[in-house]
Every structure is written in structure tokens, then in C-alpha cells.
Amino acid sequence: SGAKRPRLTFLGTGYLGATYAICFAEMGYRVIGFDVDVDKIARLANGTLPFHEPGLENLLRRNLAAGRLQFSTNLAQIAEFGDVHFICVGTPQRADGMGADLSYVEAAVTGLSQNLTRKALIVGKSTVPVGTVEWVEQLVSKNAPADLGIEVAWSPEFLQEGFAVDDVLRPNRIVIGVKTEWAKDMLHATHKGVLDLAAAEGRTVPLMVTDFATAELVKVAANAFLATKISFINAMAEVCEVAGGDVVQLAQAIGYDPRIGNRFLQAGVGFGGGCLPKDIRAFQARAQELGVGDALRFLHEVDLINLRCRPRVMRLAAELLGRSGPAGPDLSGTRIAVLGATFKPNSDDVRDAPALAVAALLAKSGSDVRVYDPQGMENARVVQPKLTYAPTLNDAVRSADLVCVLTEWAEFRESDPYVLGTLVASRRVVDGRNCLDSARWMKAGWQYRGMGRS
């Protein structure tokens, strides 16, 4: 039965592992999610998601009730259960540099290997530097009983927060890096649910079989490309600001060319989150180790353009407040409402969030800042405990001299500029995501500034 309906385990029930575990159970597989975090496992087993993701909690509850989905902190149990073990632990940026910290991968693979009692496939999903698979193979051969013939493969994921359920059930491609026919067949059987669903809906999902290095590189190359696209348009925004152009129209116009495409061309306060920023840094670090640092030097520029967006928002704010002195902005005595804390809407994730970074900059320049976010307040308080948080949108903007929109939540896009105009001390708005209907806001008496729009 193993190759027909493999039993799956997911090590690491963070954003990636929990989403995969739940979605594969939904496709009919028997699944165990494993984590060393006892609290997290207890919450998941009780049907509570430890993060915000549209649609996922319903699937969690349904599959727990159906008995297909379990959660465990017991390595021996998952080792006995699984035909395929997915490594989904985090690979954060190292505290001492730009490279990836692989200590969680090492712990997961070592712990699992020591507990294995039968043949199985270990599949890496975490984003890692190219070359990691060979190192994982060595860890396995050092720690698993040799006669079991444990094999290793790599299969990157491309899911986006806010769209994660659909991205797992209906991916635009599956990439599997393998060395043997057995591993390939096993991963084929593992993805049969995805392929069947596509067939039932009249779609096809390309399944690419590659070598290890290509599978590892596909992931970081995709994220590097997306980051580059965003920084490209933010660089154009910088030019528009001094040349008197409008980057929103510019993006629209170049995006009509299908070779360029209009997605991921939204200029604003830049990219954040737990993936793009750390991935482009780790990729550069790895390229340098491999002696091809020159090939990825442009990613350093991509990073700098991105980080420059943050002080650019502050300069716009200072200009609008008439506070941009030669020695830098002095915002003392002003009150600013910061709308948004998460790195993007429909998420509660504040990791490397541009919105929070800008809020901190404004506060540091002396402004009395009030932050409001529909989902991210709890996490924001942990990351930026010194900032002041307002319980509602109205509380944040009340008596403000300036409103800064830094995450494009629907609640902000759809808010009524006339109503907000009655609450503020002064109608000035910086649209850090170019997400507001500028004509409507100006009609309601607001002084409006967008990013890259003169």
C-alpha cells in the first residue's frame, strides 16, 4: 500500500508544515504533523490554528474529525507511521551574518533518522542554500540504521500567505529533486491527490523532475526574481518622484506587455515578511561561498532599494507636515496615525514588516505615533513593544496631523475619507502602498501623497 497512498508526516508545524499537513489530509492522505513545541501541537490537535490563514482552520477541524489528521510531539510515533517525511522547519537568517541558519533542519533530520525503523523517504521543503541535500544525506547515513535504505529528496514550495490553501491544493507547478526511481515514484504517489484534483477540474499541473541542485535553486531563484521585480518598480518610483512622473501609470503601461506582466509591480513601501528579505540575503551568501558572488551582486542593490523605501515614506510624511529640515525631519509635536503593521494584508505576520519599521522611524523622529492593524496587533506588540497601538481605525486617526497607510488592508482602502476627515486634526495622507482612490481622498479635502507619484 505504501507507494499507492503513502502515509505522510510533516516535521515543523509552522506556517508551511501546518498548511501542508492540513491540505494533504484534505486530499485524503493520512497525515501526522510533528513539532517540538508542545503548546503548538496541543492547539492544533484542538482545532486551533496558531496563525491567521483564510479557510485553513475549517479544513483543520474537518480533517481532525475525520481522523485523517493527527498532531504529535513523538518522533518514534511519526517514524513508525510515515512512508514520506517532509522537513518543513524554519531556516532563518543567521544571527551572525546573511546566510541561512540550518540548525532546525539538522535537529529535525537527526532526530527523525535516529528513530526510523523502516524504509522511508525524507523530503526537504524548507528553503535552503544549494548543496544542503547532500549534507542532509550525510546526516541520515550517520544517524539512521544503514540497512533501512532511507532516501532523501527535495521538493520546494511556493505558497503565499493569504492564498496558502489554494497554493497547496492547486499549485502552478510541482518540482521534485530526486536521485532514484523509487524516490520519484514515491513523490508521484504523494502528489497524486494534487494531480487528480487538477484533472477533475480540467487543469494540468506540470510536475518537473530535476536533480537536487536545481530543485534547491528553483525556490531561491523564484523569490529572487519576485524581489527584483518589486525593487525594480520601487526604483522607478524614486525616479518618478524627482522627474515628476507617476509610477502607477508607468507600471500599468509596461505591464500590458505580457513579457513583463502587471503582477508584482506595485510600488510602495517595499517587500517584507519571513521569506523574500532573508532569502535574497542567504542566496548572496551562498553564491559568495561558491565563488560566484559577482553573479548575484545585483541582489544587494535589490535589498538596498527595498530598504530605501522606508526613509522615503518618512521624507514624504515630513514634507507634508512641513517638517523636512536640512538636518533631517523633526516630527516632534506631531501626531501620526500608522495604518497597517503586517507585511501584507490578509495575514497576521509582522516579520520584517515595512509598516512597523516605518512606524518606528516616525516615532524615533519625535512623532506621537498610533498604530492600528486589523489582524497584526498581537504580533506587532511583541516585535515593537514601545510603539503605541490604537484599538480601532477611528481611534488611530483621531486628532492625527497625518495618516500613513502602510499595509493595503481592505478596511483602509474602503474607509470613507469624509468620515475620517471629521476625526483628524488635519487632512493629510501618505499612501505608502498606492492603494487609496487618490481622487476621492483629494475631493474630500485631503492633501494626498503616494509613492512615486508627483
Nearer to ligand UGA, 75 or 405 (CB): 405
Nearest residue to 233 via CA among 266, 258, 269: 266
Burial class (CB in 10 A: 0-12, 13-18, 19+), 448: buried
Residue numbers of the site for ligand UGA (CB under 6 A)? 127, 157-161, 223, 226, 230, 264-266, 268, 270-273, 275-276, 343-344
- Residue 125 marked ligand-binding: no
Nearer to ligand UGA, 85 or 344 (CB): 344
What is the closest distance, in whole angstroms, from the C-beta atom of residue 312 to ligand UGA in the complex? Answer: 13
- Residue 264 marked ligand-binding: yes
Given the residues 23, 240, 275, 309, select the one marked as catalytic: 275
- Residue 34 marked ligand-binding: no
- Residue 184 marked ligand-binding: no
237 vs 247: CA distance, rounded Å: 5
Nearer to ligand UGA, 265 or 331 (CB): 265
109 vs 105: CA distance, rounded Å: 6
Nearer to ligand UGA, 87 or 275 (CB): 275
Beta bridge partners of 329: 324
In the structure grid, which three cell numbers stand for residue 20, read together? 501542508
What is the closest distance, in whole angstroms, from the C-beta atom of residue 326 to ligand UGA in the complex? Answer: 30
Catalytic, 275? Answer: yes
- Residue 284 marked ligand-binding: no
Beta bridge partners of 167: none
Nearer to ligand UGA, 265 or 299 (CB): 265
165 touches 20 (CB < 8 A)? no
What is the closest distance, in whole angstroms, from the C-beta atom of residue 220 to ligand UGA in the complex? Answer: 9
What is the closest distance, in whole angstroms, from the C-beta atom of residue 15 to ligand UGA in the complex? Answer: 8
- Residue 127 marked ligand-binding: yes
- Residue 229 marked ligand-binding: no
Nearer to ligand UGA, 120 or 218 (CB): 218
- Residue 69 marked ligand-binding: no
What is the closest distance, in whole angstroms, from the C-beta atom of residue 182 to ligand UGA in the complex? Answer: 28
What is the closest distance, in whole angstroms, from the C-beta atom of residue 421 to ligand UGA in the complex? Answer: 27
Residues making up the binding site for NAD(+): 35, 40, 91, 127, 161, 278, 351
Annotated binding site: which residue ranges? 35, 40, 91, 127, 158-161, 219, 264-268, 272, 278, 344, 351
> Which residues does the annotation mark as catalytic?
275
Cite the annotated binding site for substrate by residue number: 158-161, 219, 264-268, 272, 344
